[in-house]
Amino acid sequence: EIVLTQSPGTLSLDGGERATLSCRASQSVSSNYVAWYQQKPGQAPRLLITAASTRAPGTPDRFSGSGSGTDFTLTINRLEPEDFAVYYCQQYGNSPPTFGQGTKVEI
């Protein structure tokens, strides 16, 4: 199975700053089928990005995804208070679907 490694584990930033989150796969992800999710305490994950770079309906345009092959990035421009959360990448191009361990974005 594909192992996803996210870095950093924790990102400490202020509101208005840019967050850059990395997700590295142990092998190339088929069709760049990587998704990003946001999870706040006590809530289910929420889908933000599909296919590496396509925003899901309702995802603000300050969120952008990029990357291909084994290296993928989620960028959050101009952090808003509601963006402080844990972010997970997930690959679904290869079976079984797998998730990274998460990056916490904190103030």
Partner 1 sequence: QVQLQESGPGLVRPSETLSLTCAVSDHAVNSAFYWAWIRQPPGGGLEWVGTIFHSGATYYNPSLKSRLTISVDTSSNQFSLDLRSVTAADTATYYCARHSGSLWFGELLYGAFDTWGQGTMLTVSS
> Exposure string (b/e) for 30-55, b if CB count within 10 Å is 16 or more?
eebebbbbbeeeeeebeebbbebbeb
38 binds partner 1 (CB under 8 A): no
Exactly one of 9, 16, 81, 96 binds partner 1 (CB under 8 A); that residue is 96
Contact indicator for 4, 97 with CB cutoff of 8 Å = no
Quote the DSSP letter at residue 56.
P
95 binds partner 1 (CB under 8 A): yes
Q: Which stretch binds partner 1 (CB under 8 A): 12-20, 35-43, 66-74, 76-84?
A: 35-43
107 binds partner 1 (CB under 8 A): no
Exactly one of 25, 29, 35, 76 binds partner 1 (CB under 8 A); that residue is 35
Near partner 1 in 2-31, by CB under 8 A: none
Contact indicator for 11, 21 with CB cutoff of 8 Å = yes
- Which amino acid is it at 12? S
92 binds partner 1 (CB under 8 A): yes
